[in-house]
Homo-oligomer: A and B are copies of this chain.
Amino acid sequence: MEKRIITISREFGSGGRTIGHLVAEKLGIPFYDKELVDHIALESGFSAQFIEEHGEHAPGKSIFSYAFAHQSVPGVIDGISTADILWNAQCNVILQIAEKGPCVIVGRNADYILKDREDCFHTYIHADKAFRAERIVRLYGESEKKPVARLDEKDKRRRVNYHHYTGRTWGKAQNYDLCLCSSTLGIEACADMIVSIIKKSK
């Protein structure tokens, strides 16, 4: 079966986004990461900034507080939580994008949302903490929190959000076709492996 759509789930700092970008470039197909945010904004009515901040969070107090502070957002006061509206918009956008043709989609639980499409290839990128800590400081700069605390916090949010909306365990090998440790294999090599598999599936 030809694999046309590549989803990339990733630990924070593992280089999953860079790998996705390289794969899209090498295959000459569209790449969706931050680009997804604008589509979800259009679909949901939320601002791009709100989606950036809350899209991969589990529903929680902070999201509800935000929602009630912005009661002009459609649907918030009709018994559906902000987070659920965002999830529905995210599902619609990702399903529509997959219909359009070959692409690479990073994050946003796309592996689950597209689980019933046989033309999808689902990957998960992880790496050891030292590798990830060094990368986030180099790419995103220092912050008040220690790098390892930043990694733990972001991974936890993604894990909880994934489990809440999919019922699955984030990072469980069985949910993906391929899981790669980028600190062992190298970021370029991870991209090359995915490209090679996709080309062979044709």
CB within 8 Å of B: which residues of A?
11, 121, 124, 126, 169, 171-174, 176-181, 184-185, 189, 193, 197, 200
Instruction: Find the B residue at minimum CB distance from A124.
Output: B173
Q: How far is the CA of A174 from the CA of B178 in the complex (A)?
A: 12
Contact assessment for A181 and B171 in the assembled complex, using a CB-CB cutoff below 8 Å: no
Choose among B169, B171, B179, B200 the residue that contacts A189 (Cβ–Cβ < 8 A): B200
Choose among B172, B180, B185 the residue that contacts A172 (Cβ–Cβ < 8 A): B172
Contact assessment for A126 and B174 in the assembled complex, using a CB-CB cutoff below 8 Å: yes
Q: Which chain B residues border A197 with CB–CB below 8 Å? A: 185, 189
Q: Which chain B residues border A176 with CB–CB below 8 Å? A: 173, 179, 181
Q: Which chain B residues border A121 with CB–CB below 8 Å? A: 184
Most chain B CB within a 10 A radius of its CB, from A124, A169, A178, A193: A178
CB distance from A196 to the nearest CB of B (A): 9
Choose among B172, B184, B193 the residue that contacts A173 (Cβ–Cβ < 8 A): B172
Q: Which chain B residues border A126 with CB–CB below 8 Å? A: 173-174
Contact assessment for B177 and A181 in the assembled complex, using a CB-CB cutoff below 8 Å: yes
Q: How far is the CA of A197 from the CA of B193 in the complex (A)?
A: 10
Q: How far is the CA of A32 from the CA of B43 in the complex (A)?
A: 55
Q: Which chain B residues border A200 with CB–CB below 8 Å? A: 189
Instruction: Find the B residue at minimum CB distance from A155.
Output: B174
Q: Which chain B residues border A179 with CB–CB below 8 Å? A: 124, 173, 176, 178-179
A and B contact pairs by CB, cutoff 8 A, 11 listed: A121-B184, A126-B173, A171-B172, A171-B174, A172-B173, A176-B179, A176-B181, A177-B180, A177-B184, A178-B178, A189-B197
